[in-house]
Amino acid sequence: MKPDTLIPISFPVRKPLPNGAALLCADVGGTKTGLALFELRDGELSILKETVYSSKQFDSLSEIVQQFMDETTHPQRFCIAFAGPVNAGKAKATNLNWGIDADALSRELNIPQVLVINDLEAEAYGLAALSKEDLVTIYKAENAQQGNAAIIAPGTGLGEAGLFWDKTAFHPFATEGGHADFAPRCELDFELLHYLQQQFGHVSWERVISGPGIHQIYCFLRDVKKWEEPADLRERMKENDPSAVIAAAAAKGSRICEETLRLFVCYLAIEASNLALKLKATGGIFLAGGILPKIWNEDLHKVFLKHFFEVGRLQPLIKAVPVYLVMNPKTALLGAAYFGR
């Protein structure tokens, strides 16, 4: 993994790891936690070992790390990409019932230095690790110009981050924009908002642009709009991830599931253009997370483009914003490794 890659990213300056040092990295999400042990040799990082765990089967990150490490594992630094707001090395997960503390982890695991960054901040840093093969161009901008960029990633939750452009490189920063208010545009959206308010009170973009959001949209179409549900679908969703079941059924032609994904991508496009306007992201919008590469197709591509440009008088600005789909599922983990090195 070399720092002089496709997308220029500026990293914080800290004491570099010595040659041969081991770097432990984690990507902690509400559903999965990925761990990888890297070795630094001649300025390059190589993966020695990696494993993915179910986050909710553990009571703490320390417990996961202790299961991952063996007697030969002696990392000198541990960098964690964490799904939740991070403050001074501490964080409480938004979609998980435990948190982390960098100093406490350092003591428990006997690792000299523990770093914690937001998972979408890590995803943004991970753009430095990508090649052309890792990106699909969703929209090639008219009159492209340099400028800030942004990344939006639906998963168990909805992550958003910004990248400030200093005319040489991007500087990633975390946001919690996914928890801003969902903004309905049409009568159907208002009905969906009311349906979700009855369950949650406050309704954020995360309630509709996420894995659980896909399921909520599906239930709304079934229960409020009275779309017909395939006979076996409800049973399959009881035993498996509902969003994955819905995506699989959509691929086989289920009308309610196709409409669910259409609305999901419609809302993604609207919030992506909101993010582009707020950050003046002429440097690009990057669509990331584990869901999109699995469901993306030509029809959803058209849905995205139809709604991305519906911004009124600022449409010329949005037409200057390129949009990319990030295909590499390890982007956040690689971002943590780049940040930690």
pLDDT tens for 132-191 read 999 999 999 978 789 999 999 999 999 999 999 999 999 999 999 999 999 999 999 999
Answer yes or no: do 171 and 116 share one domain: no
| 46 and 168 inside one domain | no
Q: Which pLDDT value is given to residue 85?
A: 94
Going from the C-alpha of 172 to that of each of 7, 92, 165, 169, 200, the distances in angstroms are 12, 21, 9, 10, 31
The answer to whether residue 261 sits within a structural domain is yes
Q: Which residues contact 98 (CB under 8 A, 6 or more apart)?
A: 58, 59, 60, 61
What is the number of domains present in the chain? 2
Q: What is the mean pLDDT of each run of 10 residues along the chain (341 residues)?
A: 73 89 95 95 91 94 93 89 94 89 95 96 96 96 90 97 97 97 97 98 98 98 96 90 96 97 98 98 97 97 97 96 97 96 90
Do residues 102 and 192 both lie within one domain?
A: no
Q: Which tens digits make up the pLDDT trace of 239-271?
A: 999 999 999 999 999 999 999 999 999 999 999
Query: Are residue 116 and residue 193 in the same domain, yes or no?
Result: no
Q: Is residue 57 part of a domain?
A: yes
| Residue 152 and residue 114 share a domain | no
Locus of tokens 């992506």: 272
**Alpha carbon of residue 197 to chain centroid:** 25
Does 118 share its domain with 170? no
**Pair (112, 156) in one structural domain:** no
Same domain, 117 and 208: no
Question: Looking at the structure, do residues 147 and 49 belong to the same domain, yes or no?
Answer: no
301 and 162 belong to one structural domain: yes
CA–CA dist 102, 91 (Å, integer): 9
Residues 242 and 335 in one domain: no
Cβ–Cβ contacts within 10 Å for residue 44, how many? 12
Residue 135 lies in a domain: no
Q: Model's pTM, two decimal places?
A: 0.95
Q: Is residue 121 part of a domain?
A: yes
User: Which one, of 93, 69, 66, 63, lies nearest residue 81 by Cα?
Assistant: 93
**Whether residue 180 sits in one domain with residue 39:** no
Question: Domain range holding 55?
Answer: 22-129+330-340
N- to C-terminal Cα separation, the chain: 11
